Amino acid sequence: MKKRQRKFCFRRYIKNGKAVLLLGTAAVLLSGCGSGKEETVKSIKVGVTLYDQYDTFLMEMMQAFKEYMLKKESETDVTISVEILDASGSQTTQNEQMRTLVEKGCDVICVNLVDRTEPTTITDMAEKNNIPIIFFNRELVAEDLERWSKLYYVGADAFDSGRIEGELAADAFLTDDGMDRNQDGICQYVVLEGEAGHQDAIVRTECSVNMLLESGVQVEKLGYAIANWNRGQAQTKMASMLAQYAGKMELILANNDDMALGAIDALKASGIPKEEWPVVVGIDGTDPGLEAVEKGEMIGTVYNDKEGQAKGMLDLAFALATGEGLEDIELESNRYIRLPYQKVTKENVSNFRK
Ligand code: BGC
């Protein structure tokens, strides 16, 4: 049991009574660090390193994480300090940040990998220092997660997001005759893809198109562009695709909302009247994404439950750091927390707005 965990036991006694006092005292004595004074301060320290702090989805997820942290503190009376670092797209920087967080005495570290194929430096350091790691949002392969018993992953099921996006697009094509601009019975589409190699980019593209086909929509891919989850890049790439496929595009499938919004920026800048825009679909349900659905600029999005992921991550971090309540956390294969995606349309968007 770690020193901080022992402190936690001790403080519980103060709140909960005599029986637990004995437990807490025993733990302190066993550790050989009983000072004879009652410790009333208990705290845990959580480190977080982000692949890019300006990523909209992660910004919103971190906001939810901080909000939930305050709630958790008031519910448990444990002070939680969090240090959030930005790796600015460099795995080398992130490895150094991991070292810093270890040196600063973090009880648990949450890692949003820059390169999801390069977790080894981080997992080796974690194992050597016996600090649990919760990877999140950028999923490493199962073999890497299984390298040590205290490695976890919090995220969502990429397959579902693609399938739901495909359903949204298929529903639109099958119910709105006007979407088939050239009336050839085939849906001409383009894809805006996230980072090459990111699990969500690969799977979302494939599953959304498969779902269109499964729903009985014939499709023709006009083109695609990698815009790295980024609104500005998506706008630039879409501007050139609009010129290239003038008047032919009927559907824009974007791997996330920021890129869908970039496409909408390009459509607005092109001067094409809104009634002639291709249908735009995104994934995430970020605040600006939901707003675009509300305004009818996007026909829908797929809610990537950032609040659920933030809560899952903090509950797990808390349990790992204090040694309390791990058995109450539902873990898939002892390691994974995955939150479900949800379909968002103009009809139900208000349920998702804060
Ligand atoms: C989100 C994107 C985000 C990416 C970052 C994805 O799950 O949908 O919006 O940019 O994760 O890793």
pLDDT values of the chain reduced to their tens digit, one per residue, 354 residues: 343 433 333 233 223 322 222 223 223 333 333 344 444 438 999 999 999 999 999 999 999 999 999 999 999 989 999 999 999 999 999 999 999 999 999 999 999 999 999 999 999 999 999 999 999 999 999 999 999 999 999 999 999 999 999 999 999 999 999 999 999 999 999 999 999 999 999 899 999 999 999 999 999 999 999 999 999 999 999 999 999 998 999 999 999 999 999 999 999 999 999 999 999 999 999 999 999 999 999 999 999 999 999 999 999 999 999 998 999 999 999 999 999 999 999 999 999 987
227 Cα: distance to centroid of ligand 1 (angstroms): 12
Q: Is the CB of 255 under 6 A from ligand 1?
A: no
What atom of ligand 1 comes closest to residue 284's alpha carbon? 8
pLDDT at 343: 98
170 Cα: distance to centroid of ligand 1 (angstroms): 23
Q: Is the CB of 153 under 6 A from ligand 1?
A: no
167 Cα: distance to centroid of ligand 1 (angstroms): 20
What atom of ligand 1 comes closest to residue 156's alpha carbon? 7
Q: Is the CB of 57 under 6 A from ligand 1?
A: yes
Phi-psi region of 24 (alpha: psi -120 to 50; beta: other; left: phi over 0): alpha
Q: What share of the chain is helix, strand, coil (3-state, %, to 5)?
A: 50, 20, 30
Query: How many angstroms separate the CA atoms of 138 and 309, rounded?
Result: 12
What atom of ligand 1 comes closest to residue 286's alpha carbon? 9
Q: Please name the residues in contact with 32: beta carbons below 8 A apart, sequence gap of 6 or more.
A: none
pLDDT at 14: 28
Tokens describing residue 178: 């006007």
Q: Which of 48, 136, 137 to mutate to test the pocket of ligand 1 (most atoms within 8 A of CB)?
A: 137
What atom of ligand 1 comes closest to residue 283's alpha carbon? 8
155 Cα: distance to centroid of ligand 1 (angstroms): 10
Q: Is the CB of 229 under 6 A from ligand 1?
A: yes
Q: Is the CB of 136 under 6 A from ligand 1?
A: no
188 Cα: distance to centroid of ligand 1 (angstroms): 25
What atom of ligand 1 comes closest to residue 161's alpha carbon? 8
In one-letter notation, the amino acid at residue 118 is E
pLDDT at 42: 86
163 Cα: distance to centroid of ligand 1 (angstroms): 16
**What torsion, rounded to 10 degrees, do the Cα atoms 241, 174, 300, 219 define?**
-30
Q: Is the CB of 135 under 6 A from ligand 1?
A: no
Query: How many angstroms separate the CA atoms of 344 and 283, rounded?
Result: 9
Q: Is the CB of 284 under 6 A from ligand 1?
A: yes
229 Cα: distance to centroid of ligand 1 (angstroms): 7
Q: What is the pTM of this model?
A: 0.89
279 Cα: distance to centroid of ligand 1 (angstroms): 21
- Indicate the angle between helix axes 56-76 and 257-270, nearest 10 degrees: 140
For 97, the 3-state DSSP assignment is helix
